[in-house]
Amino acid sequence: MADNNSSSSSPAENENPYPDGNVPSETGSENDALAREVQESLSLAKRHKFWETQPVGQFKDLGDTSLPEGSIELPTPLSEVKQEPYNLPNLYEWITCDMGSAEMCTEVYNLLTNNYVEDDENMFRFNYSKEFLHWALRPPGYYRSWHIGVRVKNSKKLVAFITGVPAKIRVRDTVVTMAEINFLCVHKKLRSKRLAPVMIKEVTRRVHLENIWHAAYTAGVVLPTPISTCQYWHRSLNPKKLIDVGFSRLGARMTMNRTIKLYKLPDSTVTPGFRKMEPHDVPAVTRLLRNYLKQFVVAPDFDENDVEHWLLPKENVVDSYLVESPETHEITDFCSFYTLPSSILGNQNYSTLKAAYSYYNVSTKTSLLQLMNDALIVAKLKDFDVFNALDVMQNGTFLKELKFGPGDGKLHYYLYNYRLKHVLRASELALTSIELLNALKPLGCGIVTQYCHDFYRSTKL
């Protein structure tokens, strides 16, 4: 996620030709049409000049099947990668943040809690818990050197933060190690100091030192060139609170009582054998998940260590449930969601919006509709206010039926230094938001997306 006041690119590079976020993108052909429309709508002086110099898919190349899939540029020899950190303004110094330290984690938490991105109306701000940060930033194979802070030399106060984690992403039959850059945050009072561009270049340098040259990232704006475009959908669990805080609104000709009744859920799950995932389930869940993910063009390449880290339940971080056959004890189905609350700003009655985000769901014996209805039930029992889901994978098959409502905006997915011949449908994509929700371009000079504005525009019902 980007600091929404710190873009270092030109206005032309950041221009969003669809400021209301309503971009048509349900199929690959519509994405092609979108790209042509974007390029035609911009004058020569306002085209994406920066991106046209980068190893990313270009609008002009859409439909050119003669271009090979795969890496666009070869890696630079490591000896040519800058060995020393980039220079900061004199008052500041780099630090490497040990996210395993309770003291350091508290410093980062306080910085993010008070300075991280907000929506356009300053009504909500993401509120990552310390447990969530520990989970998100220390996956298997993480690099401590990619957790970067900026301190004031004299006071030692932490005033800026940026991180990266590695991930194995399969693109068709090729597994590529990529970087995911998250949690770019600059203290509100220092947004004019131009720290963000230097921070992005510094994390890029450290990524390159590990011989990693590809990235996956998302943006709420159209850049060259999305590999897919997806949409957030939202299922009210506590509709009165959502309406009271301005997250959603009362429908036309609807009363509050009718709305509450509309979204009411059963008091208990209905699927026999539905239970919480336990440590001994990791091998079975890994097999189930790997077999399921084979059908998608772009997907994570999870092994047992990844599944243990990302999917084994952690209180107030990630919840995972499975279906164990009462007869055979076979693990047949799986669902999961993670916890990402937002602070509610300026409201006298509520301080926190508790949101669940659909993660990975696998249905083989239980219908996906029934499985996800059980997920909604347990989320409601855990006092979540809203359940969010992207229309990736097979999610589109249950959204309308389970009373999810579409958000107003779109989320565009990108690969850096990796070309696909065709734009993907959302249903061909298996990257969910914990990998990409906060990602921005890590390999270049300081493009910062305006994701927060677009996310909150997309989440309001």
- Report, as an integer, the average pLDDT of 342-354: 91
Please list the residues that pair with 334 across neighbouring strands: 322, 362
Helix (H, G, I), strand (E, B) or coil at 46: helix
Segment 84-111 mean pLDDT? 94
Q: Is the pLDDT of residue 155 over 60?
A: yes
* Percentage of the chain modeled with pLDDT above 70: 81
30 phi, psi to nearest 5 deg: -70, -35
Q: Do residues 92 and 151 lie in contact, with contact meaning Cβ atoms separated by under 8 Å? A: yes
- Which pLDDT score, from 0 to 100, does residue 443 have? 25
Between 453 and 252, the higher pLDDT residue:
252
| Mean pLDDT confidence for 173-195 | 88
Look at 81-85, 115-119, 232-236 and tell me which has the smallest mean pLDDT. Answer: 115-119
User: Is 29's pLDDT higher than 70?
Assistant: no
Q: Which of 189-198, 277-286, 415-424 has the largest mean confidence?
A: 277-286
Residue with more model confidence, 279 or 7: 279
Q: Who wins on pLDDT, 70 or 437? A: 70
Is domain 1-461 annotated with CATH 3.30.590.20? no
The whole-angstrom separation of Cα 447 and Cα 424 is 24
Question: Alpha-carbon distance 146 to 430, whole Å?
Answer: 25
Q: What is the pLDDT of residue 330?
A: 97
Task: Delimit the domains of the chain by residue range.
Answer: 1-461
For residue 93, the model assigns a pLDDT of 96
Task: Please report where in the chains the tokens 């999305």 appear, as a residue.
Answer: 226
What percent of the chain has a predicted confidence (pLDDT) above 90?
58
- Output the CA angle 128-134-136, nearest 5 degrees: 70
Report the pLDDT value the prediction gives residue 438, as an integer from 0 to 100: 36
pLDDT, position 455: 37
DSSP 424: B
8 Å CB contact between 346 and 328: no
pLDDT digits (tens, 9 = 90+) for 350-398: 999 999 999 999 999 999 999 999 999 999 999 999 999 999 999 999 9
Q: What is the pLDDT of residues 105-145, one digit of tens each?
A: 999 999 988 887 655 566 887 888 889 999 999 999 999 99
The predicted model gives 421-449 an average pLDDT of 57
* pLDDT recorded at residue 128: 84
Pairing verdict, β 386-390 and 355-358: parallel
Question: What's the mean pLDDT when you consider all of the chain?
Answer: 82
Provide mean pLDDT across the span 418-425. 91
- Concatenating the DSSP letter of every residue in 357-413 gives EE---B-SSS-HHHHHHHHHHHHHHTT-SEEEEES-TTGGGTTTTTT-EEEEEEEEE
According to DSSP, the residues that pair with 8 across neighbouring strands are none
pTM: 0.81
Evaluate if residue 6 carries a pLDDT over 50: no
> Any idea which of 292-296, 371-375, 411-415 has the lowest mean pLDDT?
411-415
* pLDDT(171) > 90: yes
pLDDT band at 4 (very low <50, low <70, confident <90, very high): very low
